[in-house]
Amino acid sequence: MPKPPTPKKKAAVRLKFDTKWTYNPAPESRDAAQIRPQYDLFIGGTWQRPSSRKYFDTINPATEEKISEVAQAGQADVNRAVAAARQAYEKTWRKMPGPERAKYLFRIARMVQEKARELAIIESLDGGKPIRESRDFDIPTAANHFFYYAGWADKLAYAFPNRKVYPLGVAGQIIPWNFPLLMAAWKIAPALATGNTVVLKPAETTPLTALKLAEIIQEADLPPGVVNLITGAGDTGAALVRHGGIDKIAFTGSTEVGKIIQQAVAGTPKKVTLELGGKAANIVFEDAPIDQAVEGVINGIFFNQGHVCCAGSRLYVQESIARTFLRKLRDRMESLILGDPLDKNTDIGAINSKKQLDTIRQYLAIGEREGADMYQVSCPIPARGFWCPPTLFTQVAQSSRIAQEEIFGPVLAVLTFRTDDEVIEKANNTPYGLSAGVWTDKGSKVFNMTRRIKAGVVWANTFNKFDPSSPFGGYKESGYGREGGLHGLLPYINLDR
Amino acid sequence: MEKSLKKSSQPVRGNGVEKRAGNRRLEVLKTYKLYIGGQFPRTESGRYYTPTGPNGRKLANVCQASRKDFRDAVVAARNALGGWSSRPAFNRGQILYRMAEMLEGRKAQFMEELQAQGLPRLRAERDVSASVDRLIYYAGWCDKFQQLFSTVNPVASSHFSFSVPEPTGVVAIIAPQQDALLGLVSVLAPVLAGANTCVVLAAESLPLCAVTLAEVLHSSDLPGGVVNILTGKAAELTGWFAGHMDVNATLYCENDSSVQRMIREKATSNLKRTVFYADDDWRLPDAQSPYRILDFQEIKTTWHPIENIAGSGASY
Amino acid sequence: MLQQFNLSGKNQLTSGGHPAAGFYGKSFNFDQAEILPMRFPLSNNRLPDFRLSPHIDQTGVEERAARFTKRSIKKESKLNSLKLVLSMIDLTTLEGKDTEGKVRQLCYKAQHLHDAFPGLPAVAAVCVYPTMVNTAKRALQGSGVRVASVATAFPSGQAPREVKIRDTKYAVSQGADEIDMVISRGKFHEGEYAFVFDEIAAIKEACGPARLKVILETGELGTLDKVRRASDLAMHAGADFIKTSTGKIQPAATLPVTLVMLEAIRDYYYDTGRMVGMKPAGGISKSKLALHYLVMVKEVLGDDWLNPEWFRFGASSLANDVLMQLVKEKTGQYQSANYFSVD
């Protein structure tokens, strides 16, 4: 029976989320996905064994079980792939009329949609992300990206007034493991729309959806060699970057590797675009729509286990609402469900790899050493696989390493501020400049803040929103070049009279 | 005048007026100093060099700027960035136009300097005129290129998303080495029109106009520190221009691949943007373009939710 | 399982009198303020400034609300939650043509939802007009099912306060356990928050031992900001429950509106330590949607609200859809409406 309305003791005023009503497991069926036991390299429209004859395992980070094995491409394979791309560029793709290129891209987009469920399952199996995210975000957005750039292929003359648009040639593209298929779409779609051909290397821990995309490309009858896919680790990527037959390097990944790439191409005419790390400030003012801000902060840092380059990993909350806001954050965190990525109710999946988990744990230790207060959700952790519960650090200083360095995990550093000028200075006090968030109900403050923040994407009263029509990319050490939208065409073209 | 210059065996100072012995009045010579933060200091190093004209005549004793001068110039440029970039674009256009007016007014002086540095008179006049016109061209762009390069993004969710260009920040410019005035103005103007601030290393062997241009800028309502002009040795300073951690972009205008490589390598330290205008002919019409402004812009995308139906869900 | 709720026995909640009196009177507990700094500065007449209610971003609310619908409720958890839904229903008939016969039939249904399926709970309450309270009370005697009555010139609320008070007292005297009042939306839009506040407090007093549900009629409020403001106002004035709608205005209950109200309840609970119940009403006729509401309650307010004491559905056709789902879960066959009694 309910208590009489006398105010409860302080300790009693607490919400209980260890509920007796739990959701039963609702796993997506693994059988709906066809995965071959072994994948070769996709070069010149055919599947080719690697010259080394070596293959490496790709595992399910939630169970540590092997899913499949993929070819390890070496220098000879890179040579073959670049040669195939060059031939396709010279012989077919650069000459193909825009409307025809467009139709190929439309066709690929449709096939991605048709196979969306299968792709979503594989994405979650291979990378550890919750099926809700791969199903509702990764795969549909990837398909939309192909649709968006398909339409540009025959309309380039309208994009850049008073200029003619020329393709660059062969693009070498290296993508990360956090959004494997989506990043492949971000790279391939604008490159093909503008008349370039592609050699793509997916990340070594998450190659499977890109390989499925290669199957789709084959099924779509794209001319052989227009898209080539080579799998491997950093060595393979390095061979691609250094290859003399490449005209353009597009890389998404860490700032550290981005710098190595820029060094490597310094003496060449290769064009480069880099989409690198970030340490986004998510700024909550006292007049913010507070519950939506809580949700935005949660999605900002826990989306995809925090494996997001634009993750809102630094929370700046105005001191007058800090305690309330933290309480709301913790309550919200308690309702996050960690577990099997294939379960439709999972909010927090597996950390992508052992290596990344080790990195995250190092930062957790650093945070505690730095004297910050750590709060972790009390959810059960599966015995096998790589897991990190949603984590909050309070009592963090601007000079703390956990507030300065990219952790790339579900770890939020909470800092407080008093004035607008103070927070803008702190938000910009970073070598990065990829994204930021601002939460206030005052329109003039929104525009003041979004203008002064040095970042390529600024979300006001929302966070982690993406759209094929919306340019994305960084300031400063978060890289250069934009992906998405009209501006996303620029990295793949030369403009001339 | 031109004739007498050629015949003279006397040393000539950069203003192109020769010293004469005899009853004529002794001319007051111009001192060529640096332009940093709206001031005209000498180099902190105390060094100078003496570029020569076409016949080996000494042009002037010019400051040989050091890396510390460059460091100070970057500080000035950084400090000026906030104010310059937050000015109304219209106002930046007015200032660029004012620069053109002042340049026009000192046409004779620039011509003399260009001639002293070896240009025929007609060519010198054409270059000064073209420089004035170029400034006016970019003055007009100041409040227009944003509309050309902005987008409203038709996103699929209930959000308003738009992308606008913003200045890259502090730009370190190694000015065209073969083109004393028009090249300098041609690379400076789009950087300024795009609301950046900059540090410019003038053409090493043709520095006179650069210093005089600083005087033009100084009297054109351009806030101090927006443009900082150094004279000195490119070989000595280019590496600093590319490596400085508080410089956001480096512009280099020669076709020297080893220098380009060095710039790209050093730029890696903070991933500064590198732009190369190799061997551009600044006299051609397409040497001016809004795309040159875009070279020093970052695209910022902003999102905000749209409350598109009443809170209760009614369909209005 | 969630059968720990107890529907019998008298509700003790209101026995202490007007709860707002304790909060705004001399006994304000500053220990509570330490948990959450006062969001509402008290003005001279000690009424909170409801214009300072937290602002709501509609798009964000809709995104969050949509997220609850992504939860997949299967097997045991589905079975349990469907039964829980049944036990939370305020079975409602609010028509001009209501008769004693109709009300008696509804009361029977309230206790015997589907006797072919043993072990089903009764609904929480039957909700009728004041004139039908007596009939319902007699029909539900001893069943544990409560009688709720709309009052205060339902549904428009356009009547003098004295009339509303008499309406309320009449319903209570006829045996109503719960009163569903409507707020004066016109006065609310005029910014006459003191008027609306006083009216709710007066009705609360007139309720005596009966629990008071305050209908905001969110479909007439226009923005989620005003939904939040009205929720805060109603709770501070003494509401035991806040309720979305009369069912006479479209739109009625929606997930976003209910989310905003649940968040208001949560903040109020942290402010004062007093629990307030929630009742979405109107427009919830499918069991799947009802489960989405339960998920929302569970993830916003937690365990303590997941029972009929603190959460209700105002619905008439929801019960049969839930029954069809329950039988489908048991038999594995999809069901036909003809096998479930309409009244």
Instruction: Decide if pLDDT at C173 tops 80.
Output: yes
State residue A12's pLDDT score. 67
Please report, for residues A148, A193, A430, B291, the alpha-carbon distance to residue A160 in angstroms, rounded to integers and kept in the order given.
17, 15, 33, 9
Name which of B70, B15, B62, B7 is nearest B37 in CA terms: B70
SS3 A470: coil
**Chain centre to alpha carbon of residue C63:** 24
Nearest-5° Cα angle at A102, A96 to A105 = 115
Please report residues of C whose CB lies closer than 8 A to that of B313.
219, 251, 254, 256-257
Query: Cα–Cα distance between C74 and C291 in angstroms, integer?
Result: 11
Beta-carbon pairs below 8 A across chains B and C = 49
Name which of C274, C57, C277, B156 is nearest A294 in CA terms: C57
Q: Do B156 and A467 touch (CB under 8 A)?
A: yes
Q: How many helices (H) and strands (E) does chain A have?
A: 15, 20
Is residue C187 annotated as part of the catalytic site, yes or no? no
Q: Does B5 touch chain A (CB under 8 A)?
A: no
- What digits encode the pLDDT tens for the residues B25-41? 888 888 899 999 999 99
Chains touching A by CB (3 or more pairs below 8 Å): B, C
According to DSSP, the residues that pair with C278 across neighbouring strands are: C242, C311
Torsions phi, psi for B62 (to 5 deg): -110, 145
Are the C-beta atoms of residues A84 and A198 closer than 8 Å to each other? no
Name which of A231, A277, A281 is nearest A422 in CA terms: A281
Q: Do A267 and B154 touch (CB under 8 A)?
A: no
Q: Do B313 and C227 touch (CB under 8 A)?
A: no
Instruction: Decide if pLDDT at C289 tops 90.
Output: yes
Task: Quote the tokens at residue B40.
Answer: 């005209």
**Residues 191-230 (C) with a CB less than 8 A from some CB of B:** 218-227
Instruction: Decide if pLDDT at C58 tops 80.
Output: yes
Q: What is the DSSP letter of A343?
A: B
Q: Does C266 touch chain A (CB under 8 A)?
A: yes
Query: Cα–Cα distance between C310 and C88 in angstroms, integer?
Result: 9
Residue from C177, C180, C232, C240 carrying the catalytic annotation: C180
Q: Using CB atoms, which residue from C60, C227, C250 is nearest to B305? A: C60
Are the C-beta atoms of residues B133 and B97 closer than 8 Å to each other? no
Average pLDDT over every residue of A74-94: 98
Residue from C83, C137, C213, C243 carrying the catalytic annotation: C243
Name residues whose C-beta falls within 8 Å of residue A325's C-beta, 6 or more positions apart in sequence. Answer: A284, A290, A293, A294, A317
Q: Does B245 touch chain C (CB under 8 A)?
A: no
Q: Do A471 and B305 touch (CB under 8 A)?
A: no
Task: Quote the tokens at residue A3.
Answer: 């208590």
C-alpha torsion C50→C54→C57→C63, nearest 10: -120
Q: Does B300 touch chain A (CB under 8 A)?
A: yes
Q: Do B299 and A470 touch (CB under 8 A)?
A: no
Entry field: residues in chain B: 316
Split at pLDDT 50, 70, 90, the class of B158 is very high
Q: Where are the beta strands (DSSP E) in A179-242?
A: 197-201, 227-229
Q: How many helices (H) and strands (E) does chain C have?
A: 13, 8
Q: Does C254 touch chain B (CB under 8 A)?
A: yes
State residue B309's pLDDT score. 52
Are the C-beta atoms of residues B49 and B66 closer than 8 Å to each other? no
- What digits encode the pLDDT tens for the residues C104-151? 999 999 999 999 999 999 999 999 999 999 999 999 999 999 999 999
Name which of B156, C212, C172 is nearest A466 in CA terms: B156
Instruction: Decide if pLDDT at C16 tops 50.
Output: no
Quote the crossing angle between the two packed helices A208-219 and A116-127, to the nearest 10°: 150
Instruction: Decide if pLDDT at B7 tops 70.
Output: no
| Lowest mean pLDDT across A321-325, C26-30, C270-274 | C26-30
State residue C23's pLDDT score. 35
Q: Using CB atoms, which residue from C12, C37, C74 is nearest to A26? A: C74
Query: Cα–Cα distance between A425 and C102 in angstroms, integer?
Result: 69
Q: Do A455 and B305 touch (CB under 8 A)?
A: no
**Residues 141-160 (B) with a CB less than 8 A from some CB of A:** 148-149, 151, 153-157, 159
Q: Does A344 touch chain C (CB under 8 A)?
A: yes
Name which of A129, A108, A303, A124 is nearest A209 in CA terms: A124
Q: Does C19 touch chain B (CB under 8 A)?
A: no
SS3 A167: strand
- What digits encode the pLDDT tens for the residues A95-152? 999 999 999 999 999 999 999 999 999 999 999 999 999 999 999 999 999 999 999 9
State residue C46's pLDDT score. 63
Q: Which residues of A are catalytic?
A: 275, 309
Residue from C109, C137, C213, C279 carrying the catalytic annotation: C279
Query: Cα–Cα distance between A263 and A256 in angstroms, integer?
Result: 11
Name residues whose C-beta falls within 8 Å of residue B31's C-beta, 6 or more positions apart in sequence. Answer: none
- What digits encode the pLDDT tens for the residues C39-52? 454 444 567 888 88
Q: Using CB atoms, which residue from B159, B305, B310 is nearest to C223? A: B310
Percent of chain C with pLDDT over 90: 82
Quote the crossing angle between the two packed helices C58-68 and C287-300, to the nearest 10°: 110
Q: Do B311 and C226 touch (CB under 8 A)?
A: yes
**Residues 8-37 (A) with a CB less than 8 A from some CB of C:** 8-10, 12-13, 15-26
- What digits encode the pLDDT tens for the residues B178-235? 999 999 999 999 999 999 999 999 999 999 999 999 999 999 999 999 999 999 999 9
State residue C11's pLDDT score. 34
In DSSP notation, A196-214 reads -EEEEE--TT--HHHHHHH
Are the C-beta atoms of residues A59 and A352 closer than 8 Å to each other? no
State residue B21's pLDDT score. 53
Q: Does A90 touch chain C (CB under 8 A)?
A: no
Q: Do B268 and A482 touch (CB under 8 A)?
A: no
**Residues 287-326 (C) with a CB less than 8 A from some CB of A:** 294, 298-304, 306, 309-310
Query: Cα–Cα distance between C254 and C259 in angstroms, integer?
Result: 9
Split at pLDDT 50, 70, 90, the class of B22 is low
State residue B137's pLDDT score. 98
Disruptive mutation site among C58, C217, C220, C254 for chain B (greatest number of B CBs within 10 Å): C58
Other C-beta atoms closer than 10 Å to the C-beta of C333 total: 8
Chains touching B by CB (3 or more pairs below 8 Å): A, C
Give the mean pLDDT of chain C.
88
Beta-carbon pairs below 8 A across chains A and C = 138
Task: Quote the tokens at residue A409.
Answer: 């995990």
Nearest CA distance, A1 vs chain C (angstrom): 7
Are the C-beta atoms of residues C20 and C237 closer than 8 Å to each other? yes
- What digits encode the pLDDT tens for the residues A195-219? 999 999 999 999 999 999 999 999 9
A21-36 CB burial, b ≥16 within 10 A, e <16: bebebbbbeeeebebe
According to DSSP, the residues that pair with A305 across neighbouring strands are: none
Ramachandran assignment for B59, one of left (phi > 0), alpha (psi -120 to 50 degrees), beta (any other): alpha
Ramachandran assignment for A282, one of left (phi > 0), alpha (psi -120 to 50 degrees), beta (any other): beta
Q: Encode chain B in three state secondary structure.
A: CHHHHHHCCCCECCCCCECCCCCCCCCCCCCECCEECCECCCCCCCCEECCECCCCCECCCEECCCHHHHHHHHHHHHHHHHHHHHCCHHHHHHHHHHHHHHHHHCHHHHHHHHHHCCCCHHHHHHHHHHHHHHHHHHHHHCCCHHHHHCEEECCCCCEEEEEEEEECCEEEEECCCCCCCHHHHHHHHHHHHCCCEEEEECCCCCCHHHHHHHHHHHCCCCCCCCEEEECCCHHHHHHHHHHCCCCCEEEECCCCHHHHHHHHHHHCCCCCEEEECCCCCCCCHHHCCHHHHHCCEEEEEEEEECCCCCCCCCCC
Are the C-beta atoms of residues B138 and B288 closer than 8 Å to each other? yes
pTM above 0.80, yes or no: yes
Whole-angstrom Cα Rg for chain B: 22
Query: Cα–Cα distance between A423 and A316 in angstroms, integer?
Result: 7
Q: Does C56 touch chain B (CB under 8 A)?
A: yes
Other C-beta atoms closer than 10 Å to the C-beta of C198 total: 14
Q: Using CB atoms, which residue from B148, B163, B268 is nearest to A487? A: B163
Q: Using CB atoms, which residue from A6, A24, A287 is nearest to C76? A: A24
Chains touching C by CB (3 or more pairs below 8 Å): A, B
